[in-house]
Amino acid sequence: MTHLDLGLSTCPNDTFIFHAMLHGLVDTEGFDFTPHLHDVEELNGKAFHGEFHLTKLSLFAWMKLRHTYDILDSGAALGYKCGPMLIGKTANIPTPDATIAIPGEHTTAHLLLKLWNPEFKNTVITRFDNILAGVRDGTYDAGLIIHEGRFVYEEYGCKKILDLGDWWEEETGSPIPLGCIAVRKDAPYYTYKGSIESILKNSVEYAMKNRPASRDYVNHHAQELDGDVIDRHIDLYVNEFTLSLGEKGKTSITALMEMAQCKNLL
């Protein structure tokens, strides 16, 4: 039995796709995975220290770590109409000196904000699930929301300023690349890449075909979300690109990295 430490987020899409391989519902081919669940920006930070053999990463973080971690073909978060959103109490575009809450320095959301408008200088790193309340209460002038925030921001009295996913799609015509699952490149872990990709793809397929099987596990790690929001979250972020990046997915990642490099953000 080969042991691997796995970093994943508590978001429904991650717990949904990993449930089967963590609970013996698919063949794990002699691998034993110990899950470590954290907010995605915490996972990004831990990856800079190589803490987990296999981990969820924001694609912006992976770009900075691409010589240390390699993307798996399965498990990625890409898609259409699923990008980060800039919200505020009004729909007016913030001034350059506005205080904007972002969900993490290394998040793809932060990269997209920089690409769209590099003039914003007063950004404040805030855990993703505290951003909406901070904007509602006036702590921040605007906030960059991810995950399920797009489903509930109006409940906080907030307005959409810009959907960065829409902006990305208009600019590139590609699905928006948000996150990935990556394996460390050092030996012996990199030699396991093919097997891990196969196991994860089988886990994603199982989840899609047996959706109720993971419900308790998903709910346990998303206790503040109601069932409808959880279902909408999974529907949006688990799709054909989660099974396999394919050429379209790989092209979108390359486009994002080239854009970041052109703007000297890597």
* CA angle 24–28–29, rounded 5-degree value: 140
Token pair 């999974």 is found at 234
Catalytic residue among 110, 147, 220, 221: 147
Catalytic residue at 147? yes
- 134 CB-side CA count, 13 A: 22
> What are the φ and ψ backbone dihedral angles of 184, each rounded to 5 degrees?
-60, 145
Give the SS3 label for residue 205.
Answer: helix
Omega of the bond prior to 188 within 30 degrees of 0, cis?
A: yes
Helices (H), the chain: 12-22, 40-47, 59-65, 108-116, 131-136, 149-152, 164-172, 193-209, 215-220, 227-237, 240-243, 246-262
C-alpha triplet 250, 256, 262: angle, nearest 5°: 135
The set of catalytic residues is 147
